[in-house]
């Protein structure tokens, strides 16, 4: 029998300052997102004792959060929370607008809405034959006037036609779908990617080109399994954090 040596593991004490700073930043970022940190972070000395790392590691961690736009470092004041991210809980029957309403006034700017002939892949995702028309809705979502996401939504005609006459600026899209279909949304398939904002999208969302965006692709179905909509939602990575819970399998 061939002897396999035990894997080599780095000793915890030999880890770099940047490794430790990253660990600290991850915990602080979560605390800020959950509202556990109010207006101001504890002093560097307090954080140093809490995380058992050097003062330089703490300062590097705080600089990471500053570059992410989560905190400001103010001389004579300390590290203050700039603005916590807006939390979106991913669920089959909960759209982004529903998650954001508790954070301010949500308005959807409808950039276009009508019937289109979609790409073959979109038609297939909606259970349609190639060449079939669908309803297409594109909205720029704002919270208290600040652009947060760009939503591209495809719907079968039997559902989408009714939505074209609805109040797409203020009403939740999922609620409108359930009303039009007279059925419940029950299942969802989600893909999530991180991309860099192109110049056009960056201008719409009020960020610099190359900024981090989260792209949520979500296919939602009704209780009988029929496809209800296919969404591509571009969200600002500096303003939105995603949350999801699922039972253990």
Query: Are 72 and 90 within one domain?
Result: no
Please name which of 159, 125, 242 lies closest in space to residue 193, comparing C-alpha atoms.
242
Residue 245 CA: distances (Å) to CA of 88, 90, 242: 12, 8, 10
> 50 and 109: one domain?
no
Backbone angles phi, psi at 164, to 5 degrees: -65, -20
Residue 124's pLDDT band, with cuts at 50, 70 and 90, is very high
CA distance 55 to 58: 5
pLDDT, one tens digit per residue, over 8-42 is: 444 555 678 888 999 999 999 888 877 777 788 99
* Same domain as 92, residue 76: no
Quote the domain boundaries for residue 45: 16-81
Give the chain's largest Cα–Cα span.
73
Interatomic CA distance for residues 222 and 234, integer angstroms: 24
Is residue 33 a part of any domain in this protein? yes
- Is 74 a member of any domain? yes
User: Cα–Cα distance between 69 and 83 in angstroms, integer?
Assistant: 8
- Tell me whether residue 111 is in a domain: yes
Q: 92 near 185, Cβ under 8 Å?
A: yes
The last residue of a domain, from among 34, 62, 81: 81
Residue 220 lies in a domain: yes
Residue 12 and residue 52 in contact, taking contact as beta carbons nearer than 8 Å: no
Higher-scoring residue by pLDDT: 154, 6: 154
How many residues in total does the chain contain? 249
Shared domain for 47 and 92, answered yes or no, is no
Q: By the 8 A CB rule, do 50 and 24 touch?
A: no
Residues 177 and 207 in one domain: yes
Q: Does any domain span residue 10?
A: no
* Residue 239 pLDDT level (bands cut at 50, 70, 90): confident
Domain final position from 81, 99, 121 = 81
Assess if residue 226 is contained within a domain: yes
Mean pLDDT of 119-141: 94
Q: Is the pLDDT of residue 199 over 80?
A: yes
121 shares its domain with 237: yes
Question: Do 196 and 101 share a domain, yes or no?
Answer: yes
């Amino acid at each position: 029998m061939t002897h396999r040596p035990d894997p080599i593991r780095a000793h915890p004490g030999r880890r770099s300052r940047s490794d430790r700073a990253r660990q600290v930043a991850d915990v602080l970022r979560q605390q800020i997102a959950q509202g556990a940190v109010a207006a101001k972070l504890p002093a560097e000395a307090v954080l140093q004792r809490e995380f058992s790392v050097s003062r330089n590691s703490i300062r590097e961690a705080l600089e990471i959060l500053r570059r992410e736009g989560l905190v400001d470092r103010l001389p004579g004041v300390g590290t203050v929370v700039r603005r916590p991210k807006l939390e979106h809980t991913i669920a089959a029957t909960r759209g982004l607008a529903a998650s954001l309403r508790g954070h301010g006034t949500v308005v959807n700017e409808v950039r276009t809405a009508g019937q289109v002939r979609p790409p073959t892949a979109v038609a297939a995702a909606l259970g349609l034959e190639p060449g079939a028309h669908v309803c297409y809705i594109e909205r720029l979502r704002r919270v208290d006037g600040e652009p947060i996401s760009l939503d591209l939504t495809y719907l079968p005609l039997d559902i989408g036609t009714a939505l074209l006459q609805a109040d797409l600026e203020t009403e939740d899209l999922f609620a409108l779908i359930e009303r039009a279909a007279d059925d419940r949304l029950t299942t969802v398939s989600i893909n999530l990617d991180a991309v860099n904002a192109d110049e056009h999208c960056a201008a719409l969302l009020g960020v610099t080109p190359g900024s981090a965006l989260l792209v949520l692709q979500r296919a939602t179905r009704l209780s009988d399994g029929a496809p209800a909509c296919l969404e591509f939602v571009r969200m600002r990575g500096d303003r939105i954090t995603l949350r999801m819970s699922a039972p253990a399998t």
